[in-house]
Structures are given as structure tokens and as C-alpha cells.
Amino acid sequence: MDNKYQQLFDHVRPAIESKMNEFHFYGYSTVTEADIWKYCVQKKWRKRNITEMRTYEIMNDVMELTPAEYMTYTQIEEQRGSDWFSDLNSDELQLLLSPKKSS
């Protein structure tokens, strides 16, 4: 977690913990407080200056987060970071990406 936001995280932790418990209730048992905070910082507030936000705005954003929003974000981030062709050598990759020749 980014240390510059640690104090703010600690301040709104009850809301984050509540949201994490809600996720666990719905079966998303691997979601942590840090995951929820990371989502908010990187997705929800990416274009905002978090240090200028009011506490009620931060807590409201956390409490409005739905499992669907969070899961969509994590799936997209996973796809961005995946190297689907990492197991292929260069010849296999070339064969895969070459246009099929007609006979």
C-alpha cells in the first residue's frame, strides 16, 4: 500500500472493513481490505487528488462499490498483465501468427 495514503486508509478503515465483510458474505472470500483500497485508488479515484477529498466522499465511494464492479476491474487488470504467449518459442509463435497458405 502506498505510504502517502496510509493515514487516510486508517481513517476510513471501518468502511473498508465493512465492505470487505460484505464481499465475504457474498462469496468473494479472497478480497482483502488492501484490495478494496487499491481498487479505489487506482480505478475510482485515479483522476482525483485523494488528499483533497472529504472523508464522507471516500466512505461513500467505498460503500457504493459492488462486487460486480470490483470483479470486472480485477479481470481486466489480469488480462492486461497476462502474457498469453509466454509458453511458446519464437517458431511456434511465428507459426501461430502466420496467415494460412492456400494449396
Confidence at residue 87, expressed as pLDDT on a 0 to 100 scale: 65
Rounded Cα distance between 79 and 61, Å, is 25
Q: Is the pLDDT of residue 83 over 70?
A: no
Residue 15 vs residues 19, 51, 61, 88: alpha-carbon distances, Å = 6, 17, 10, 45
CA 70: distance to chain centroid? 6
CB atoms within 10 A of CB 39: 20
Confidence at residue 79, expressed as pLDDT on a 0 to 100 scale: 81
Could you tell me if 70 and 44 are in contact, meaning their C-beta atoms sit under 8 angstroms apart?
no
Could you tell me if 41 and 58 are in contact, meaning their C-beta atoms sit under 8 angstroms apart?
no
Q: Higher pLDDT residue, 68 or 102?
A: 68
Q: For 10-23, what is the mean pLDDT?
A: 96
Residue labelled with grid coordinates 478494496 = 36
- Largest CA-CA distance found in the chain, in angstroms, rounded: 69
Q: For 9-27, what is the mean pLDDT?
A: 96
Q: Is the pLDDT of residue 32 over 80?
A: yes
